[in-house]
Structure 1
Amino acid sequence: MHRVGYLIPEGFQIMSLATQTVFELANIAAGAGVYRVENYSLHGGPVRSSLGMHIDTLPLTAAGLADTWMVAGTLTPLTPPSDEVLHQVRGFVDSARRTAGLCTGTFVLTQAGVLDNRRATTHWAYAKAMQQAHPRVVVEEDRIFIVDGPVWTSAGMTAALDMALGMLETDLGVELARSVAHKMVMHQRRSGGQSQHSELLALAPKSDRIQRALDYARRHLNRPLSVEELAQVVHLSPRQFARVFTAETGQSPARAVESLRLEAARLMIEQSRHSLDTVARETGFRDRRHMREVFMRGFGVPPQAVRRDARRVV
């Protein structure tokens, strides 16, 4: 049996506990108690979440048998926990099979010094602060989750679910992980190498008509997608469309379409075995060389590096 201990700090973010569903459903799918999940705090007893809910916990002094530790995050990650908690966390890494920081729970691992000279990620809103405060940590702020030896770290909120499914796949295989993802209505289980960034969210148009143009562009990326075509979709003149689009998104239509192509190509590279020539063709790049140029400009790495990162064994 795999024993999973959650370290729950005062003011914890309730989303951290959503990952427990992965282990709960794994037990159901496996037809056996393959995981035992327990909640801990320094002294035990009720712990209050950031929303005001309380959860009962066991004291850390009773926590010697967990082989996986999950450190929950808070909405105030820059405030370090007590020295006693940091000492316990260092012990987790030394004795447990793996230790994970959920979202901003990664800060506890950095403050304990266990991420020095390791790769790590956290919620995008706090990644730069983590890098500045802990320069010995190799912060990769644009990743869903990262595994570096026995230490796992996840990006914000729902990314922790992907990390927990990654743990399940490591423990019990890909088919059981897929079964649990299906039960959780997670239509896409993201790999650790994926980006936290969503181009459509970043563009954030203010009107439905510009959103319709973006949705149309995303569905037809294998087409040239001229300004004239997009303008016709929303019944505007090309000149008026370009003006309104730029005012609402901060980007020209051509730049936005290129960003959507880049995101779609990255997802295809991470999630499929299609050749790079096929990916380039399906996402509307002129050819593989053109796609590489855009990848270098957008990500600073070539498509081959993205594929290697996505296939890295976790």
Structure 2
Amino acid sequence: MRNNRAMSASPHRIAVLALDGVVGLDLGTPAQVFSTARDAAGVSRYTVEVCTPGGRPVRSTAGYQVLPEHGLDLVERADTVVVPGVHENPALTDGTLDPLVYDALRGAYDRGARIMSICTGAFVLAAAGLLDGRRATTHWAYAARFRRLHPDVDLDPDVLFIDDGRVLTSAGVAAGIDLCLHVIRTDHGTEVANRAARRCVVPPWREGGQAQYIERPVPKVTDTSTATAREWARQRLHEPVSLRDMAEQSRMSVRTFTRRFRSETGLSPAQWLLQQRTDHARLLLETTDLSVDQVARRAGFGTAAALRQQLHQRLGVAPSTYRRTFRHP
């Protein structure tokens, strides 16, 4: 859990590092999303600025040039560095990186900055050696190339984003929004993240992963869905919910339901249900005075010990610590 009281003293500084061939949407995403993150008093929690190597203009994939106001010195001062996706860049074509960019990214990580990538920006982080031995993701269409160039990275192309401590990666295009909202949620809690999502007119949390968007040789069946079962389960998080119960809500066999569920959400039913219960427990800790035992029961964990184990596994903190950090008066 990266949140701490010091973050409320001054805005968190974010440097967006644009390289030649930067993807236009990826470049604009951090500024758009993080600029909407404000506390209850309307105070901005982040500042976002763009930099390039040498402060020089770089071309984008959207048919315009980026005219930055900063060089790589901005990376040296930033609390978080975001690398947007790139096309027709050596990092993407052959896995190489400008030595100055390499040194800037390694230096930022070594001094404790958080490093993020959007889409094919993961190729840049991998070329800097920041993803070796880590779980990471990128756009599903580039997964085979990524594995070929960077075999030491544990690539998972089925998810929208991966938070691996101080290094975070997202899948393609709109998944960068999901990652930015996740960071806001981690730094400042659900209420601030939800408010930012509303300002951006996007859902605060998308279920599943990019597996649901990957082109597959077998067409998807469109006349049935597991959505009814998911909504039914959401209304009963405090109760025992079995796989067979959910399958019956969709009038499917367990085997068919499980296959369809993973196709539609990118998760198994058990993984999805655990995610829903964890998110509900976080919301109750933030917005109610219920005891930890009561929160555990209402979220479907049964015992406070089970809730503590789950929060510690996902966030690295105990329920009481999470509540002190994110509880709103």
Distance apart, 1:32 and its partner CA: 1.2
Distance, in Å, in 2 between the alignment partners of 1:35 and 1:291 is 43
Of stretches 272-281 and 142-151 in structure 1, the one that deviates more from structure 2 is 272-281
* Aligned equivalent of 2:93: 78
Secondary structure in 2 aligned to 1:285? Answer: coil
CA 1:270 to 1:61, structure 2 compared with 1: closer, same or farther past 3 Å? farther
Distance apart, 1:10 and its partner CA: 1.3
Distance, in Å, in 2 between the alignment partners of 1:72 and 1:30 is 30
Task: Give yes or no for contact 1:3–1:36 (8 Å, CA) kept in 2.
Answer: yes
Distance apart, 1:189 and its partner CA: 2.2
The residue correspondences of 1:5-84 to structure 2 (distance < 5 A) are: 5-16=15-26, 17-27=28-38, 31-57=42-68, 58-76=70-88, 77-79=92-94, 80-84=96-100
Secondary structure in 1 aligned to 2:209? Answer: coil
Q: Percent identity?
A: 32
Distance, in Å, in 2 between the alignment partners of 1:269 and 1:43 is 55
Say how many residue pairs are matched. 260
- Answer yes or no: is 1:256 the counterpart of 2:270: no
Distance apart, 1:142 and its partner CA: 0.7
- Answer yes or no: is 1:150 the counterpart of 2:169: no
Secondary structure in 1 aligned to 2:148? Answer: helix
The residue correspondences of 1:55-134 to structure 2 (distance < 5 A) are: 55-57=66-68, 58-76=70-88, 77-79=92-94, 80-134=96-150
- Answer yes or no: is 1:169 the counterpart of 2:185: yes
Give the number of the structure whose alpha-carbon radius of gyration is greater: 1
Distance, in Å, in 2 between the alignment partners of 1:34 and 1:52 is 32
Task: Give yes or no for contact 1:90–1:112 (8 Å, CA) kept in 2.
Answer: yes
Distance apart, 1:297 and its partner CA: 10
Superposed CA RMSD: 3.4
Structure 2 unaligned blocks of 5 or more: 1-10, 279-313, 317-329
Distance, in Å, in 2 between the alignment partners of 1:13 and 1:7 is 12
CA 1:8 to 1:68, structure 2 compared with 1: closer, same or farther past 3 Å? same
Which amino acid is 1:86 matched to?
Answer: Y
Q: Taking structure 1 as the reference length, what is the TM-score of the superposition?
A: 0.71
Structure 1 unaligned blocks of 5 or more: 204-248
Secondary structure in 1 aligned to 2:14? Answer: strand
- Answer yes or no: is 1:303 the counterpart of 2:315: no
Secondary structure in 2 aligned to 1:59? Answer: coil
Distance apart, 1:50 and its partner CA: 1.8
Q: Taking structure 2 as the reference length, what is the TM-score of the superposition?
A: 0.68
Which amino acid is 2:178 matched to?
Answer: D
Secondary structure in 1 aligned to 2:176? Answer: helix
- Answer yes or no: is 1:279 the counterpart of 2:246: yes
Secondary structure in 2 aligned to 1:25? Answer: coil
